[in-house]
Structure 1
């Protein structure tokens, strides 16, 4: 599995994010959905990574720079066919490493809607 910065241009990432948003709206009240669409994830304050294997998108995660030494975890998702393979763990570890390199002392977690 390779994790790299993604420019949000491929259909695999688009499909993963569309499924992510659809799931958020299906399981949470609209006012509780804080997931960003593709355009929102292209903001200059956000770095987006995808995990791939043999060219297929396995998952994604994004890090939004907030004020000072703070960041927020955004749009973390594993593809249905990649669940239970450690994709989310690898993405989260990658994001934490990147946050440390940036000097962040605080990460705001993803809001989990039930």
Structure 2
């Protein structure tokens, strides 16, 4: 559980491993995928749908403020020492409340617990992705070359953090 204080109002986030079957989670992942289609060309969209998020190498978390879904994020194991952040999304009703920071902090802590030495991610290069890039930079992620199966793409940037 994480406490987040926003403008004198404190919300308590409960972050839990999620099986991706609840309607709120399905809606948020669908919203995430839809927004990617509005911001990126199809060949540059690397967001995962519900079925691909259920693969065994991926752990998906949902973050809850009481009974309201506040956000989500996932961790994909690339190998025993390297993980990838996937599907970071904050619910539109919880923007600018620190939800993304808490989910990212949770994923980083889990990656360390697993013994990963590196954590990487892909995100968009467009202006609309600037808040996400700034968040990752604030946690010590640095720009890098494509990793895993990614290739150079003018619509993508790649970031990594040594743990």
Q: TM-score range by the shorter chain?
A: over 0.9
Q: State the shift of 1:102 in Å.
A: 0.2
Distance in 2 between residues matched to 1:77 and 1:89, nearest whole Å:
11
- Which protein has greater RCO, CA pairs closer than 8 Å, 6+ apart? 1
> Which runs of no fewer than 5 residues in structure 2 stay unpaired?
1-12, 127-163
Give distance in 1, aligned partners of 2:81 and 2:67.
34
Distance 1:21 1:113, change over 3 A: farther
1:25 equivalent in structure 2: 37
Q: What is the match of residue 37 of structure 1?
A: 49
Confirm or deny: 8 A CA contact 2:72 2:89 kept in the other structure.
yes
How much is the aligned-residue C-alpha RMSD, in angstroms? 0.8
CA distance in 2, matches of 1:5, 1:71: 17
Aligned residues: 114
Structure 1 runs, 4 residues or longer, greater than 6 Å off:
none
Structure 1 alignment gaps of length 5 or more = none
3-state SS of paired residue (1:8): coil
1:113 CA drift (Å) = 4.2
TM-score of the superposed pair, with normalisation by structure 2: 0.68
User: 2:26 — aligned with what?
Assistant: 14
Helix, strand or coil at the partner of 2:19: coil
Q: Structure 1 residue 50 and structure 2 residue 62: aligned?
A: yes
* TM-score (norm. length: structure 1): 0.97
Is the CA contact (8 Å cut-off) linking 1:27 and 1:113 kept in structure 2? no
Larger Rg: 2
